[in-house]
């Protein structure tokens, strides 16, 4: 997500998230696939629930 200064300078975002696919595209031609991709609008609570909580649970189980 761009800062207000970047927006004021007319900068454009260089990372695009592909909808429905855990993949991002950097620039026009560099694609990277991950286990999870979160949009800039997603809050920390959603990131924790999806990506961190299962790891913590497994860690505590030994």
26 closest CA partner among 55, 40, 42, 18:
18
Instruction: Please say if the pLDDT value at position 7 is more than 90.
Output: no
- What pLDDT does 3 receive? 82
What letter does residue 31 receive in the DSSP assignment? E
Tokens of 59: 């860690």
pLDDT tens column, 34-53: 988 998 889 999 999 998 99
pTM to 2 decimals?
A: 0.61
Secondary structure of the chain: what % helix, strand, coil (to 5)? 35, 20, 45
Please state the φ and ψ torsions of residue 38, each to the nearest 5 degrees.
-110, 135
| Owning domain of residue 43 | 4-61
pLDDT tens column, 19-30: 889 999 998 889
Q: How many domains does the chain have?
A: 1
Report the run of H or E that residue 17 belongs to, with start and end: strand 15-17
């Amino acid at each position: 997500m761009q800062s207000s200064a970047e927006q004021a300078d007319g900068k454009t975002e260089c990372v695009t998230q592909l909808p429905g696919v855990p993949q991002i595209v950097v620039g026009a031609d560099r694609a990277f696939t991950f286990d999870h991709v979160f949009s800039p609008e997603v809050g920390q609570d959603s990131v924790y629930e999806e990506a961190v909580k299962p790891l913590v649970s497994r860690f505590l189980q030994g």
